[in-house]
């Protein structure tokens, strides 16, 4: 009998890659999302009816249970970078994660994979990182054999990191960064998906895995690499944290006075707190090496999707080549 996996947040950035890989493994894939009608892009990942988006609100027990009924394995990819309405860090990353794990245990699910974040810690300065740690604790309390993945900043075609700064480089004469010297270890989205699939298939030992790519770079160095790929020259200016805090305060005030019409997805005080800490693997936890996965370098992937931010777009390489032609 074909096995079934429920992926909460399976139509999102990381979840869609996990869904695609699980479909290739021959599993039925149930993609639990808030808006199934906006998640139809996952259906072609498998044969007709193999991948199906279904409605789920992870703040509600009955909704989570309905999406999980009959599942052999569960993956939780749900997380928020900024709080909005009822989708607070606590509700989604702590309580939501715990709810999924508790119900998975009650339903007799065999495997649980939980996507957390590098830097999660009970004593972290940012609420984002603290609620990620609280979510991990609740997952392990309810489902001790869970596989927990902690990736660094994730890159890939649909990412909100390099794409965001690529757009900025396209429109602005300079790039300003808060935390320019903070170090990151960018990890390719499909490598994270591969790790999750190993957890679903029972090919990963239970526990926490810290996932980072082969390159450790400062924020400034990452932007220099991005600018090289998009063929643009832009000064990269590092801003002091106190300036970033003032900017974040201003955006937050604007969100409040606009009664939520403007959502501060640009820079928050919590993100400032996160940027003060390097986002690299510690070396004390399990990693890609323990999964038999060789992480992919940024240089091998960025040109595949960042070309859209070049001055000539897809024709940029042809135009550069034409400069070398000589008149006969």
Which DSSP string do the residues of 175-215 spell out, in sequence order? EEEESTT-EE--EEHHHHHHHHHHHHTT-S-SEEEEE--S-
- Cβ–Cβ under 8 Å, residues 76 and 114: yes
pTM: 0.94
Per the listing, tokens 């390489």 go with 317
pLDDT value of residue 321: 67
User: Cα(191)–Cα(320) distance, rounded to whole angstroms?
Assistant: 33
Are 280 and 212 in contact, with CB atoms under 8 Å apart?
Answer: yes
Q: What is the pLDDT of residue 259?
A: 86
Q: Output the six-digit token pair for 229.
A: 């790929």
Other CB atoms closer than 10 Å to residue 26's CB: what's the count?
11
Helix (H) or strand (E) segment spanning residue 168: helix 162-171
251's tokens: 């955006």
Tally of CB atoms within 10 A around 220: 17
What's residue 169's pLDDT? 96
Q: Which of 195, 183, 193 is nearest to 119 (CA)?
A: 183
Three-state DSSP state, 119: coil
pLDDT of amino acid 223: 97
Distance CA 181, CA 217 (A): 9
Question: How far apart are the C-alpha atoms of 184 and 277, rounded to whole Å?
Answer: 9
Closest alpha carbon to 79 in 31, 41, 131, 121: 131
Residue pair 33/40 in contact by the 8 Å Cβ criterion: no
Q: Which CATH superfamily is domain 4-155+185-214+279-295 in?
A: NAD(P)-binding Rossmann-like Domain (3.40.50.720)
What pLDDT does residue 325 have? 66
Which strand (E) or helix (H) includes residue 67? helix 61-68
Is 154 within 8 Å of 186 (Cβ atoms)? yes
Give me the residues of the chain with pLDDT under 70, please. Answer: 317, 320-323, 325-328
pLDDT at 244: 95
- Look at residue 183 in the predicted model and tell me its pLDDT: 98
Query: Pick from 64, 70, 73, 68: which is nearest to 25 by CA?
Result: 73
Residue 220 vs residues 170, 203, 250: alpha-carbon distances, Å: 17, 37, 24
Enumerate the domain spans of the chain: 4-155+185-214+279-295
Cα Dmax for the chain: 77
Pick from 123, 160, 121: nearest CA to 279? 121
Q: What are phi and psi of 204, to 5 degrees?
A: -125, 135
**pLDDT at position 320:** 66
């Amino acid at each position: 009998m074909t096995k079934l996996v429920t992926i909460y947040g399976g139509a999102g950035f990381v979840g869609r890659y996990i869904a695609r890989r699980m479909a290739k493994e021959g599993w039925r894939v149930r993609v639990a999302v808030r808006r199934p009608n906006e998640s139809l892009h996952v259906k072609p990942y498998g044969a007709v009816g193999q991948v199906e988006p279904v409605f789920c609100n992870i703040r509600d027990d009955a909704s989570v249970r309905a999406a999980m009924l009959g599942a052999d394995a569960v993956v939780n990819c749900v997380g928020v970078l900024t709080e909005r309405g009822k989708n607070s860090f606590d509700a989604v990353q702590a309580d939501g994660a715990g709810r999924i794990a508790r119900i998975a245990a009650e339903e007799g699910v065999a495997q649980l994979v939980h996507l957390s974040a590098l830097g999660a810690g009970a004593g972290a300065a940012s609420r984002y990182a603290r609620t990620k740690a609280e979510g991990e604790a609740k997952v392990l309390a309810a489902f001790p054999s869970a596989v927990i993945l902690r990736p660094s900043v994730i890159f890939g075609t649909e990412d909100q990191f390099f794409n965001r700064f690529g757009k900025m480089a396209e429109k602005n004469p300079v790039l300003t960064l808060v935390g320019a010297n903070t170090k990151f270890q960018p990890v390719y989205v499909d490598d994270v998906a591969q790790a999750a699939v190993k957890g679903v298939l029972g090919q990963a030992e239970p526990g926490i895995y810290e996932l980072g790519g082969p390159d450790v770079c400062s924020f400034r160095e990452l932007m220099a690499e991005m600018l090289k790929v998009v063929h643009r020259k832009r000064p990269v200016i590092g801003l002091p944290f106190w300036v970033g805090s003032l900017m974040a305060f201003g955006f937050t005030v604007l969100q409040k006075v606009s009664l939520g019409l403007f959502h501060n997805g640009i820079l928050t005080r919590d993100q400032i707190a996160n940027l003060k800490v390097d986002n690299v693997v510690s070396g004390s936890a399990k990693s890609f090496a323990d999964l038999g996965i060789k992480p992919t370098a940024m240089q091998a992937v960025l040109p595949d999707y960042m070309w859209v931010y070049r001055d000539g777009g897809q024709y940029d390489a042809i135009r550069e080549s034409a400069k070398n032609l000589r008149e006969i």
